[in-house]
Structure 1
Amino acid sequence: MRYILIFFFICAAIFGGAFFYVYSQIRFNAYDIIDYKPKLTTQIFDRNNELIANVFEENRLYVEFNDIPPRVIEALVAIEDTSYFEHGGVNYEAIIRAIIKDIKARKLVEGASTLTQQLVKNLALSSEKKIERKIKEIVLSIKLENELTKEQIIERYLNHVYFGHGYYGIKTAAMGYFRKNLDELSLKEIAILVGLPKAPSSYDPTRHLDLSLGRANRVLERMHTIGWINEDEYKKGTLEEPVVFDDTLSKNKAPYVVDEIIKELSKKYDDIKTGGYKIVSTIDLEVQKMASDALNYGYNEILKRDKNANTAVLNGAIVVTEPKSGEILALVGGVDYAKSSYNRATQSKRQPGSSFKPFIYQIALNNGYSVVSSVADVSRSFDMGNGKEWTPKNYGGDFSGYITMKTALTKSINLATINLLNDLGLNLVKKELTRFGFENIPENLSIALGSFGISLVDFAKLYSIFSNDGEIVSTILIKSVENRYKNLLKFEPTKTQINPPEQSFLMTSMLMNVVENGTGRNAKIPGIQIAGKTGTTNNNIDAWFCGYTPDIQAIIWYGNDDNTPMKKVEGGGRTAAPVFRIFLSEYIKHYPNMRKNFMQPDGVYRGRFNGSDEFYTDESPLPNSDNQQNIMQEADDSGLIF
């Protein structure tokens, strides 16, 4: 008897020693499961909570145990591990049965793994069938059962395992295959899902529906056999054939937007693609589609006018914002993301041409000029330094003498704008432009014609000086970011009052005239007030239209990526302005309650000048008509106009 006890003691010691030896080798693997932090899918939504895209390394949407329907647990346990809630991580009876079968087959044919062991195998160990790996699996499973509850283990299992088609975790699989939340699944859909981890590729319902349904029926049969579903449920379930969707994993509906959001947030979060963030953007997917459709309309119109256009480089971009909030409603960085992912709305800096002119005229208004102050539309030569002279010309080569600021901007007269800038003084203008928010403005008169580079998204911010009553609002693309622990970070724009509202309204009134009677006529829509400015750079390299209504603003650009000229007929008025009209016409259909008329702020008055009503303010009073006529006559007599 003593020898028997000694023998058992020695066996126990050997077993215990072997257990602790194995555990010492793999104990850190246990912590990976206990402190479970899987790679999760980051989801990007639009402002209306519609999914824009999934971003991930492993496409996994996490679900907590309390949010997993009991039917899902029952189905999984029924088919994979019926005694799950009774054993301590290892089913010894099943192991003995498996060993007997292995001995008879003279190889490892049956594993007898519990759900706990399957979790260990998936999360911490390889899946190869070796005795050493099996021992490690058993040791880790026992450890887990002592550290975690049954609910925690099954929660980790259902979130970690692979369900085929790129879906990790059961919540992801439910949304992917059936476009349903877990609590919306039918019994047959649940059976399909819990049957998948055994052989995800073979049972993938998008590729092998017959095999998937057969596996699901075996799940239902097992549930029926052990009494977890009744006869009616079993029959109904076996006859059902659910609708299965073969969706793309990313579901990316706005790739230019997604790229920009990920680029911006990567500066703050190094796990943006694996951290399971919920990102709410400012984008409105309906507006995004309208903008994309309008941009492609304009692109196709260019191709109709120029059969020889180089489609490899011809492109466009559009940014739509809500001026009051700075929120970007649409951002389209090109006509076809599949052909080019380069984001021309944010990455490209193009010369704005005449679409920049309103900023010069706003500075003039802020310095005592009125909308009808006279400016010289005359040809002059300017000393540019280093012995160089610049003799700019109007489009068409003619000039008209003295004209009003309103006329000069409406017709986009180059010489009048250059002379106005010269009269204001380059130092003053540059100082004011810097106050507005412009950066790296060159110190020469050519800036009057927009001879510097700027991105659409930056231009959208600066144009809010006009569209938002003198207050610059920084553009934002992200409203909030929520991490996996439900901590919420909100994003707010910066707002700076640059001009008094009444001064900015004077500019809006001038830009309304551009659309009503000037170069922006192709943007006009009956029944709604639109303010805007066209822009065309030298040799028709860039074509712009920057337009806004009381509620919405759009910056539109076309050109060749390599800065080669477009056809001579292309310009802001013909190429870009109609795109604003097409876009806004569709926008009004979806949002018919948008404001149609600009509000006239306090401090803006109407007065008569040369027989017409004109807006003025205390800072920009109307000139005396007789004095104005005398100024023009004196200019004629002095020979300044030639």
Structure 2
Amino acid sequence: MFDNRSGALDRSSYGSGARSQAGGFSRTDRSSIPLRKTSDIGRSQSRRFSMPSFSLPSFRSFSLPSFSLSSRRGDRSRLLVLGGFIALIGALLYGSVVVVQLALFDPDPYISGMGSRSPDRIYDRNGQLISELFSLKTGNLKFEDIPKPMIDVLLFVEDEDFYSHGAIDFTATLRAVFINVTNAGFVQGASTITQQLSRILLDDREKTLTRKLKEASLAYALEARYAKNDILTGYFNNVYLGHGAYGFQTAADFYFRKTLVELNFTERLALASLPSAPERFSPLRNPEMLIRKMDHIYARMVEDGFPVPAQSEYESQKLSSLMHLNRSPTETVFGTRTDHGPYVTEYIRGKLREILGDEAESQSGLRIETTIDIDLQKSAVKHSREFLAEIRKQHPYRRPEQNDESVLKERIRREYLLMALGGAVLGLPVPRTGNKRLETASIGLDPATGEILFMQGGSEFFPENQLNRSIQMRRQTGSAIKPIIYSAGAESGKVSPATPLEDSPLFFSGVKTADGKDFWLPDNIDEDYEGIIPARIAMAKSRNIPAIRAAMMIGLDRVGEQFHKFFFHSDEAFAKRFRAEQGVAIGILEMSPLEMASAFSAFANNGVIKRPFLIRRIVSPTGKVLFDGTGKDEFRMQMPAEVKAIDGDAAEVVASMMQDSAKYGGTGRGGFNSPLLLGKTGTTNKHRDAWFVGVLPHLSAAVWVGFDNHIVSMNKGTGAGVAGPLFGRIVSGSGKGSELAKGGYAFDPRARSVTVCADTGLLPNGFCPRKKSDLFAAAGVPDKTCDKHGRDTVENPSIPELPTKSDFD
């Protein structure tokens, strides 16, 4: 039943059928007592109370009637006498104990909560608001900001004598006790605005004598320390009005999308009707019940001479303001907060608990300054959602074929999950089925600083899709890893862009595979072979067999060193995650999008990787810096602040190879073209993962597309088909493409351009039919002359050139 301590309803006015006519209301209000008209409230009110002042009701004209146990009149008289004695004794005891409590109770910790509790605000690198974090967001009004009509309506409903009584209105209290006793139940309340504010600050809903005494003591403290206007402002900012809205300012925006100044009479009356039972009288859940309460108050206002609009206008306002809200009854203020990067917001929520403790998560008005670029972040949010929505029909969720026994087990498991037998029968947690939709993850950072520019952990953020795949997921990379393999070759001098590699079948015996075989027969994605081709073309066309042959030429130990420098920065991580197998050349190791974006930043930053971070500073409301992200291993990558992963000349060689491969990455289909783009696609076995890692002078970003269940395949989805286009959309959609490519790349030392035989990659002799120039790191500059061609060589080139068809055409 609703709490009528606000003095909202008078049961007597409904007659004997009050319960059915008033939708279950059974409590009366102050309308049974003559009401004073709302006085004009002074805007500069400064009266303070050191002790409560009150007057007892006059009983001069009250005579005790005689009564008999055998008559109804006697029963009523007996109740009246009993009620009077209880009221008097209760008031004396209550006042005595309050005096004791005043000496023992420390109100300071609670009074400090009277100020507004602002949300934590997350800002991008340029000071633009990304999102807000709060579990409780109050108003931040000053008294002069509160419209006088709103104050008048609230005081009429809640506490007409607010400016004339002390912390507790003893007259109203005794009257309420007397009425409640004579009605054998709680019928009327008498809490003042100050008492209600005390209850809010105590945040203690226990109905005990101790709590009531604390409430009273805190009310006295508030009246002693603050002017009435300050107390009223505290109430306006902190009172709960339903659906997560604390304070009239927040509630006006949530319910009506208006400021307090913009509210009409009916909207003001609706808000003033909520404090006693905000969820019960919610305009979204129970508008009819709220309207019945409002109608009753409106009638009281008319009777008391309170300035109100005409009945017809009042009815019209009700219709327009309340009956056409058309909003979900489960909606809350949390769903209407500013949030341009939900995955960023949720990441920071967790980091706040980790850095500052649980109490700093919300309600503290923190300013969290990040490295995020809001334009890139908005674009990642928008296009991840839209692009995945477009292509999901082409890539339905289909599990691999299973034998009959496996199918039966899966059906039993699915039925168990649907029926939630564990929770229903045994009280155990029920595992949730995974996301069965095509998903994505993307993250980008500034190569020169390691600052995260955008982070999108999925196609869209909702309760069942909160996994931040950009940092919390590792998947096989497929061919996207090949630049790391070729970087080891360039730096060691064992494989250069001009090195001829054989693209023909390879067979490895004694190698255990996932399907139970004891041999491995790797293949290219198109199950075709091209013969001998240079490493540059092999990487641009993403040929698997040449990459494996390159790794064998370099040596798996030397390849492991490269992974140690680019990815596994501690010996512990390297020992745990690296496997010295030929398959590392084609992406059998699992990486996160963050790890890929971080590693590839070396090719735009002269071979140097800067440790990634997202939180620059956390600043308190007073301006004190609580956390400085500079020099912190925020993502626990176990890496120093700066890593020299590769020499500048070798980085330039690989960057030139990635420029060629980027042309076939699918970014053009996403609307982005740039001759400075470095990139590499990746597609894992059976089309389970699709990658594109793209690098510009001021951006290194990784995009992944696939299913959360790592055994589910896409419908021939490839890196160039689904990941590259999304990268293109994110960059082009941000409007930052030219800015991110500005300035070009700088390498030191520079790679050397050398003319070589196109067939052998060695220095040409006088008989080589074709020559070309290519880039070489210092260790890879050829010092031998081609011995393949002689006087009888036929000028019939055997080495293919790169295709002229690309995304830019």
Query: Which TM-score band applies after superposition, normalised by the shorter structure?
Result: 0.7 to 0.9
Amino acid at match of 1:374: T
Q: Secondary structure at the match of 2:440?
A: strand
Q: Structure 2 vs 1, CA of residues 138 and 574 (structure 1 numbering), >3 Å: closer, same or farther?
A: closer
Partners of 1:392 and 1:133 in 2: how far apart? 74
Task: Confirm whether residue 412 of structure 1 aligns to residue 542 of structure 2.
Answer: yes
The equivalent residue for 2:709 is 562
Superposition pairs for residues 238-387 of structure 1, below 5 Å?
246=327, 248-251=332-335, 254-268=341-355, 269-278=357-366, 279=368, 282-283=371-372, 287-288=376-377, 290-292=379-381, 294-295=383-384, 299=388, 303-305=392-394, 309=398, 313-324=436-447, 325=449, 326-334=451-459, 337=462, 340-368=465-493, 372-377=497-502
| Alignment: residue pair count | 615
Give the one of 784, 787, 798 matched to 1:630.
Answer: 787
Note the C-alpha offset of 1:412.
1.8
Partners of 1:552 and 1:240 in 2: how far apart? 54
Task: Confirm whether residue 437 of structure 1 aligns to residue 521 of structure 2.
Answer: no
Worse-matched range after superposition: 259-268 or 294-303: 294-303
Q: Secondary structure at the match of 2:481?
A: helix
Note the C-alpha offset of 1:430.
1.7
Partners of 1:111 and 1:40 in 2: how far apart? 29
Amino acid at match of 2:443: V
Note the C-alpha offset of 1:248.
3.7
Q: Secondary structure at the match of 2:241?
A: coil
Q: Secondary structure at the match of 1:543?
A: strand
Task: Confirm whether residue 200 of structure 1 aligns to residue 278 of structure 2.
Answer: yes
Note the C-alpha offset of 1:536.
1.7
Worse-matched range after superposition: 203-212 or 170-179: 203-212
The equivalent residue for 1:9 is none
Task: Confirm whether residue 513 of structure 1 aligns to residue 681 of structure 2.
Answer: no
Partners of 2:652 and 2:354 in 1: how far apart? 38
The equivalent residue for 2:137 is 60
Q: Structure 2 vs 1, CA of residues 280 and 409 (structure 1 numbering), >3 Å: closer, same or farther?
A: same
Partners of 1:487 and 1:184 in 2: how far apart? 36
User: TM-score if structure 2 supplies the norm length?
Assistant: 0.63
Q: Structure 2 vs 1, CA of residues 238 and 394 (structure 1 numbering), >3 Å: closer, same or farther?
A: closer
Note the C-alpha offset of 1:173.
1.9
The equivalent residue for 1:4 is none
Q: Structure 2 vs 1, CA of residues 209 and 573 (structure 1 numbering), >3 Å: closer, same or farther?
A: same
Q: What is the percent sequence identity of the aligned residues?
A: 24
Q: Secondary structure at the match of 2:113?
A: coil
Amino acid at match of 2:468: N
Give the one of 721, 743, 746 matched to 1:601.
Answer: 746
Partners of 1:126 and 1:390 in 2: how far apart? 67
Note the C-alpha offset of 1:180.
5.4
Equivalent residues of 1:412, 1:519 under 8 A apart:
no
Note the C-alpha offset of 1:513.
0.5
Note the C-alpha offset of 1:263.
2.9
Larger Rg: 1 or 2?
Answer: 2
The equivalent residue for 2:8 is none
Q: Structure 2 vs 1, CA of residues 584 and 519 (structure 1 numbering), >3 Å: closer, same or farther?
A: closer
Q: Structure 2 vs 1, CA of residues 139 and 284 (structure 1 numbering), >3 Å: closer, same or farther?
A: same
The equivalent residue for 1:571 is 718
Give the one of 407, 424, 444 matched to 2:554.
Answer: 424
Task: Confirm whether residue 169 of structure 1 aligns to residue 247 of structure 2.
Answer: yes
- Structure 1: runs of 5 or more not aligned: 1-11
Note the C-alpha offset of 1:357.
1.0
CA RMSD of aligned residues (A): 5.0
Q: Structure 2 vs 1, CA of residues 166 and 372 (structure 1 numbering), >3 Å: closer, same or farther?
A: closer
Amino acid at match of 2:352: L
Partners of 2:262 and 2:618 in 1: how far apart? 27
Partners of 1:519 and 1:297 in 2: how far apart? 17
The equivalent residue for 2:600 is 463
Partners of 2:620 and 2:705 in 1: how far apart? 38
Q: Structure 2 vs 1, CA of residues 444 and 28 (structure 1 numbering), >3 Å: closer, same or farther?
A: farther
Note the C-alpha offset of 1:475.
3.6
The C-alpha deviation readout for 1:254-305, integer Å capped at 9, x for no partner, is 5444433333333222235544454455556664454355445664666554
Note the C-alpha offset of 1:163.
0.9
Superposition pairs for residues 213-252 of structure 1, below 5 Å?
215=294, 246=327, 248-251=332-335
Give the one of 612, 619, 642 matched to 2:778.
Answer: 619
The equivalent residue for 2:761 is none
The equivalent residue for 2:629 is 491
Give the one of 225, 238, 249 matched to 1:160.
Answer: 238
Equivalent residues of 1:45, 1:51 under 8 A apart:
yes
Note the C-alpha offset of 1:484.
5.6
Q: Structure 2 vs 1, CA of residues 87 and 601 (structure 1 numbering), >3 Å: closer, same or farther?
A: same
Superposition pairs for residues 86-97 of structure 1, below 5 Å?
86-95=164-173
Partners of 1:194 and 1:331 in 2: how far apart? 42
- Structure 2: runs of 5 or more not aligned: 1-87, 400-433, 513-517, 633-640, 759-769, 794-798, 800-809
Note the C-alpha offset of 1:319.
1.2
Equivalent residues of 2:506, 2:521 under 8 A apart:
yes
Equivalent residues of 2:704, 2:723 under 8 A apart:
yes
Amino acid at match of 2:380: A
Partners of 1:423 and 1:366 in 2: how far apart? 13
